[in-house]
């Protein structure tokens, strides 16, 4: 595996003084492009995009070493690229007088924002499109929240299963037809950052004890099981001699404008060590996963700049990877803060989206986009619009499209529109892609939770030899303990007599159901 590192230099329209800082080291072929910096922002902690590709950035304009300074001094800004070169050149303060904002979720014409020291979430709307919110309404009332600012909830992502997730909380939200549903889940130990992979698995990260990525084996709504064998020996070490101290800001790269072997890799940072780790997950023949460092003995990115403080990452609409650098300088009144995008010499960034101006019929086309950001955004907007005229098109995509990810998003979009019918259900259980068969098992859960006899529809799947299906069956069956569920779980195990991983998982789920 090639692990050579080289110093990289970037060219940007920013002031020369901003370019004198030591630049990170990256593998050959990669470079960082400065998208925005001190001239437009201060201490950014996260960035997201709306359906038209406008970037929303939470910036913390407070002295984090001075307790009490966080009261109402921070903001969320909107950054735009007006000339199409990919670099931000227009800035407006979208929402001001905030307390260390930590969550941003663009919907359609609303932007959800969560602040520190509260579990309330507000919806902001810019009715005249000047980049400044002029309406603010309470979206969810959660009340005051205590705790260190880096240990309060973060995330607020709309996942593929059409639930909205956050860290630290034992619940999730669903937003359908303007109505919010809150459902209790197992608690999670996630801290700063939240992401999902191409199949909708939400992945958390814990900084305490230098743990790093957590809840990545299975959706955490089923179990928080974390066996030691799931990460390779030494994974939590930072070569040559350090260990994780502040892992955070994870993102599964799902774009299409960087090398294909980066797709599906988990990117996260350690802001104290000034590194970014690239991790990948292998599966053995039994389906047992293991997370590994893609660059054994090294890191994907290192920096010698003492102020470099990477705290977040995200796949962008242009198909590249964005890195948020807090630059929390100790110097008084120092200007600080940068956002980079990762480039590769063999790829050019993709076009800017215009989804907020598109019809539901046009949005369905993006479910097959090679960039996961586009697929996610199209699915979310289709559900928010709730235009049922697209259901025939969604069914056609699911039944006929050659791209399995397009079929998967079409299936979950139908679920979000409450349009899963028997023909789609049967086609999903028979699909050639095991991820789709596993997704249909998850979608089918409400049926057998309501009526045990519905489990009979899963009989044939107990013979399925795909590890994605086998594990999902055990996970889903664990949601309704009982004689019939136990019988189906036993069938899965009997059909895989040498699979110790499945037996280990089943034992864990059984103990969990008994409260042990």
Instruction: Please indicate, yes or no, whether residues 333 and 428 belong to a single structural domain of this protein.
Output: no
Range of the domain at 125: 22-344
Instruction: Please indicate, yes or no, whether residues 448 and 336 belong to a single structural domain of this protein.
Output: no
Q: Could you tell me if residue 366 is inside a domain?
A: no
Instruction: Please indicate, yes or no, whether residues 339 and 426 belong to a single structural domain of this protein.
Output: no
* Last residue of one domain, picked from the residues 344, 373, 404: 344
* Last residue of one domain, picked from the residues 344, 375, 397: 344
Q: How many domains does the structure of the chain reveal?
A: 2
Which alpha helices (DSSP H) does 370-499 contain, by range?
A: 372-385, 391-400, 404-416, 422-429, 434-450, 467-477, 483-494
In angstroms, what is the C-alpha Rg of the chain?
23
pLDDT at 68: 53
Q: Which pLDDT band holds residue 335 (cuts at 50, 70, 90)?
A: low
pLDDT at 23: 60
Residues 481-498 have a mean pLDDT of 95
Q: Could you tell me if residue 439 is inside a domain?
A: yes
Q: Could you tell me if residue 387 is inside a domain?
A: no
Q: Which residues of 469-490 are buried (b: 16+ CB within 10 A; e: fewer)?
A: bbbbbbbbbbbeeeeebeebbe
pTM metric for this prediction: 0.93
pLDDT at 6: 30
pLDDT at 8: 33
* Last residue of one domain, picked from the residues 344, 365, 395: 344
Surface-to-core class of residue 316, CB atoms within 10 Å of its CB (0-12 exposed, 13-18 middle, 19+ buried): buried
Q: Could you tell me if residue 357 is inside a domain?
A: no
pLDDT at 16: 37
User: Which CATH number covers residue 253?
Assistant: 2.120.10.30
Instruction: Please indicate, yes or no, whether residues 319 and 435 belong to a single structural domain of this protein.
Output: no
Lowest mean pLDDT among 145-154, 155-164, 257-266: 145-154
CA distance 303 to 243: 16
φ and ψ at residue 494, rounded to 5 degrees = -65, -35
Is pLDDT above 50 for 4?
A: no
Q: What percent of the chain has pLDDT over 90?
A: 84
Which tokens in the block code for residue 210? 């230098």
Lowest mean pLDDT among 144-148, 245-249, 343-347, 369-373: 144-148
Q: Could you tell me if residue 391 is inside a domain?
A: no
Instruction: Please indicate, yes or no, whether residues 435 and 294 belong to a single structural domain of this protein.
Output: no
pLDDT digits (tens, 9 = 90+) for 14-46: 443 444 455 678 999 999 999 999 889 999 999
Instruction: Please indicate, yes or no, whether residues 249 and 138 belong to a single structural domain of this protein.
Output: yes
Count Cα neighbours of 440 within 13 Å in the Cβ-side half-sphere. 26
* DSSP state, residue 218: S
pLDDT digits (tens, 9 = 90+) for 190-204: 999 999 999 999 999
CA distance 236 to 6: 24
Q: Could you tell me if residue 370 is inside a domain?
A: no
pLDDT at 345: 97
Residues 212-218 have a mean pLDDT of 94
Instruction: Please indicate, yes or no, whether residues 161 and 266 belong to a single structural domain of this protein.
Output: yes
Q: Count of CB atoms within 10 A of residue 189's CB?
A: 17
Q: Could you tell me if residue 400 is inside a domain?
A: no
CA distance 243 to 249: 17
Instruction: Please indicate, yes or no, whether residues 126 and 262 belong to a single structural domain of this protein.
Output: yes
Task: Give CA torsion, residues 191, 166, 370, 464, to 10 deg.
Answer: 100
Is pLDDT above 70 for 455?
A: yes
* DSSP state, residue 223: -
Is pLDDT above 60 for 250?
A: yes
Instruction: Please indicate, yes or no, whether residues 209 and 308 belong to a single structural domain of this protein.
Output: yes
Which tokens in the block code for residue 254? 């799902």
Q: Could you tell me if residue 379 is inside a domain?
A: no
Which tokens in the block code for residue 34? 């400065």
Region of residue 418 (left: phi > 0; alpha: psi -120 to 50; beta: else): left
Task: Give CA torsion, residues 218, 219, 225, 230, to 10 deg.
Answer: 30
Is pLDDT above 90 for 11?
A: no
Q: What residues pair up with 33 in beta bridges, in sequence order?
A: 341
């Amino acid at each position: 595996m090639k692990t050579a590192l080289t110093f990289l230099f970037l060219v940007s329209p920013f002031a020369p003084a901003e370019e004198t800082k030591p630049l990170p080291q990256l593998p050959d072929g990669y470079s960082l492009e400065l998208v925005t910096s001190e001239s437009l922002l201060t201490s950014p902690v996260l960035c997201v995009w709306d359906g038209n590709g406008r970037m929303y950035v939470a910036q913390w304009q407070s002295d984090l070493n001075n307790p009490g300074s966080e009261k109402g001094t921070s903001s969320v800004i909107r950054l735009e690229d007006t000339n199409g070169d990919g670099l931000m050149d227009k800035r407006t303060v979208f929402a001001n007088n905030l307390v260390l904002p930590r969550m941003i979720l663009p919907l359609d014409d609303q932007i959800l924002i969560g602040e520190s020291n509260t579990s309330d979430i507000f919806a902001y709307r810019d009715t005249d499109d000047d980049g400044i919110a002029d309406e603010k309404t309470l979206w969810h009332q959660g009340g005051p929240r205590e705790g260190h600012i880096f240990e309060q909830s973060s995330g607020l992502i709309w996942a593929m299963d059409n639930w909205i997730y956050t860290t630290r909380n034992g619940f999730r939200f669903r937003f359908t037809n303007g109505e919010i549903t809150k459902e209790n889940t197992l608690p999670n130990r996630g801290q700063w950052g939240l992401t999902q992979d191409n199949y909708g698995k939400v992945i958390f990260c814990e900084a305490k004890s230098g743990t790093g990525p957590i809840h990545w084996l299975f959706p955490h709504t089923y179990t928080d099981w974390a066996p030691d064998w799931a990460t390779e020996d030494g994974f939590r070490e930072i070569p040559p001699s350090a260990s994780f101290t502040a892992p955070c800001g994870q993102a599964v790269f799902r774009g299409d404008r960087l090398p294909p072997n980066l797709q599906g890799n988990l990117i996260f940072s350690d802001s104290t060590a000034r590194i970014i780790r690239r991790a990948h997950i292998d599966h053995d023949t039994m389906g047992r996963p293991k997370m590994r460092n893609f660059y054994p003995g090294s890191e994907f990115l290192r920096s010698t700049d003492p102020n470099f403080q990477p705290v977040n990452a995200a796949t962008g609409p242009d198909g590249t990877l964005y890195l948020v650098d807090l630059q929390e300088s100790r110097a008084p009144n120092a200007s600080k803060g940068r956002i980079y995008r990762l480039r590769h010499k063999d790829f050019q960034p993709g076009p800017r989206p215009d989804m907020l101006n598109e019809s539901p019929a046009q949005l369905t086309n993006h479910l097959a986009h090679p960039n996961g950001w586009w697929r996610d955004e199209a699915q979310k907007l289709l559900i928010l619009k709730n235009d049922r005229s697209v259901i025939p098109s969604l069914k056609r995509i699911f039944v006929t499209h050659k791209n399995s990810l397009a079929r998967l998003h079409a299936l979950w979009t139908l679920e979000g529109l409450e349009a899963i019918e028997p023909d789609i259900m049967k086609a999903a259980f028979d699909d050639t892609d095991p991820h789709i068969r596993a997704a249909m098992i998850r979608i089918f859960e409400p049926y057998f939770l309501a009526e045990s006899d519905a489990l009979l529809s899963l009989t044939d799947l107990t013979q399925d030899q795909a590890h994605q299906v086998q594990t999902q069956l055990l996970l889903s069956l664990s949601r309704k303990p009982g004689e019939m569920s136990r019988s189906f779980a036993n069938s899965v195990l009997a059909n895989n007599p040498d699979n110790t991983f499945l037996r280990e998982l089943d034992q864990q789920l059984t103990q969990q159901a008994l409260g042990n």
